[in-house]
Amino acid sequence: MSSSVITITKENFDTEVIRSEIPVLVDFWAAWCGPCRMVAPVVDEIAKDYEGKVKVGKINVDEQNELAEKFRIVSIPTLMVFKNGQIAESVMGARSKESIAQMLDKHL
């Protein structure tokens, strides 16, 4: 995980996501999930490409099951874009870098 990707927990969720001044891409994932491992390097690249414009965070659903339940995560990976503390967009499954970039560009 690159240094520009934040590990999000229930303790820092409010500060890092809800109160963020810029849009936040949240990746709900788990270590045992094959598609999550495929999308992880793409999420790291997005974090570098969008540094300063978008905050990127990852939530391990096994460690943060309260957050997974709160956002009704039934399939992983799930990528959510939060803007002004609200879910602006949500997609399930592994996505290409181009697909994620297009999703983020809509919310900048």
7 in Cβ contact with 58 (< 8 Å): yes
pTM of the model as a whole? 0.96
Could you confirm whether 33 is annotated as catalytic?
yes
**pLDDT tens digits, one per residue of 46-76:** 999 999 999 999 999 999 999 999 999 999 9
Backbone angles phi, psi at 56, to 5 degrees: -120, 130
Catalytic residue among 36, 42, 76, 94: 36
**pLDDT tens digits, one per residue of 25-54:** 999 999 999 999 999 999 999 999 999 999
Domain ranges of the chain: 5-105
Block residue for tokens 């992880």? 40
Could you confirm whether 36 is annotated as catalytic?
yes
Catalytic residue among 5, 17, 24, 33: 33
CATH number assigned to the domain with residue range 5-105, chosen from the 4 options 3.50.50.60, 3.40.30.10, 3.30.420.10, 3.40.30.110: 3.40.30.10
